[in-house]
Amino acid sequence: MPRNILNLPSYTIASIEEDDHDYHIWAGATKHPSACQHCGHREIVGFGRREQLIRDLPMHGKRVGIYVDTRRYRCRQCGKTFYERLPDVDEKRLMTARLVDWVGKQAIKRPFAHLADEVGLAENTVKNVFRDYINELERTVCFEVPKWMGIDEIHIIKKPRCIISNIEHNTAVEVLRDRTKKTVMGHFQTMQGREKVQYVAMDMWNPYREAVEALMPQATIVIDKFHVVRMANEALDTIRKAQRAELTTKERRGLMHDRFVLLKRRNELTDKEYLKLSGWTANYPMLEAAYDAKEAFYGIWDMDTRADAERAYAIWRDNLVPEVREAFYPLVRAMDNWHPHIFAYFDHAITNAYTESLNNLIRVMNRLGRGYSFEALRVKILFSEGAHKVKRPNFKRKRQPPQDTGFGGVMMRKSISFTRPEPEEKGVNYGADLSTLVKLIEDGAI
């Protein structure tokens, strides 16, 4: 009798054949039904057999197929027939339960086509297993609703996707297929506990604002200041490029590395950079006006109160010189259109501070994008093992209650007693930590 190399005690191995790529294993179940599956009556008789091919985990780099001699029975009471249920086999597929679980987990890490070839399944079968695995994760893994929510975008497979984050904990809690109003509202409508959201940091994208205002009216919208001050840099860069276009090749050489220096804050310049900047602004008044406008705009965000910031902005807007007004017009228009949400920052200083981590995530996702679907990359972001930030429940000290031993009413403790455990208190899962996730991907752990 061949040894049970399957490590499945529920089966008896009859024979094994091995070739260059596969193991072919003939087996039968060790236990058979004793009652009808339809009516429960115990008088059943054999009524034929059939051979079923069950796929199992690869062994020694080879695919595994188990040929199970499956018995059919007929009930003498109800007259119905049935096949015996095979132990350790998935209810939906002719695959062992352990293979289904393994494929689901591996599909997060590897392309479907590679996985299908390794286990000897059709690629569509791997996709279906993965889809069921995702559905189970969605059902069992629950992220805490962020009190401080971030809404941003991440470019995956050449398309912007909406990413929902927990700003307090620097974690991702959802990645949506796109960033349209319909998609974002659809997510919020199904989000349990959305009334807990207090603040939402976002960029200046109307679908985000409309979705939050419609479904989370209690939340205060705060425009991420990073997206606002970036527009000042873009205006300065527009003027810089226009200035360079009017210069000769020799003159352009004198502006070597000008973009890097001009986009730095004045108080961050080295002595060498300050000398360069002084020379450029002396020779090119337009650059001086643009740099001063950018620096003055940054100064708005150094104010301590909202009222001071609003006054500083009004002064800045009114004092823009005509030479640079056109380049800074998109910023002025955005400031006026989003005024209450932009200046809400001075009442509630929250921001998507995970920007650097998000940029790193975009980089590694795009590197991995070839061969993966959006669904696979989304699951890799949200459900990768070891990436979640979880707050576990505090250890609670328990005391053994005193018990009456019957000796004159003296209360004594028994040496050992076992009690039924209380229901386990679950920890709080804040989502996938972005920095940890990037490191795991770069290290090849997921």
pLDDT digits (tens, 9 = 90+) for 74-119: 998 899 998 888 999 998 899 999 999 999 888 877 788 889 999 9
Q: Which structural domain range is residue 402 located in?
A: 141-224+351-446
Q: Is residue 2 part of a domain?
A: no
- Residue 283, SS3? helix
pLDDT (tens digit per residue) in 33-51: 889 988 988 888 988 889 9
Residue 414 lies in a domain: yes
> Is there a single domain that holds both residue 67 and residue 83?
yes
Mean pLDDT for 131-151 is: 90
> Which of 3-17, 252-266, 307-321, 404-418 is predicted least confidently?
404-418
Residue 106 has a CB neighbour count (10 Å cut-off) of 18
- Indicate if 155 and 216 belong to the same structural domain: yes
Same domain assignment for residues 76 and 46: yes
Element (H, E) at 176: none
Q: What is the average pLDDT across 373-400?
A: 78
Overall average pLDDT of the 257-283 stretch: 85
Same domain, 256 and 362: no
Are residues 213 and 292 located together in one domain of the fold? Answer: no
pLDDT digits (tens, 9 = 90+) for 335-377: 999 999 999 999 998 887 665 677 777 777 777 666 667 887 8
Residue 1 confidence (pLDDT) above 50: no
Domain count, the chain: 3
89 and 29, same domain (yes or no): yes
How many C-beta neighbours within 10 Å does residue 338 have?
A: 19
Same domain membership, residue 161 and residue 79: no
In a domain, 367, yes or no: yes
95 with 177, same domain: the answer is no
The per-residue pLDDT for 356 is 60
pLDDT in tens, 400-445: 665 555 555 555 444 444 455 554 556 789 999 888 888 887 777 7
What is the rounded average pLDDT of the residues 371-390? Answer: 82
Rounded to whole angstroms, the Cα distance separating 348 from 149 reads 13
Describe the crossing of helices 285-300 and 271-283 by its angle, rounded to 10 degrees: 120
Is 126 in the same domain as 147?
A: no
Same domain, 311 and 298: yes
Average pLDDT over residues 8-14: 89
Q: Hey, what are 252's tokens?
A: 């352009």
**Calpha distance 183→193 (Å, rounded):** 18
Angle between helices 112-119 and 97-109 (to 10 degrees): 150
d(CA 252, CA 244): 6
| φ, ψ for residue 243, nearest 5 deg | -65, -45
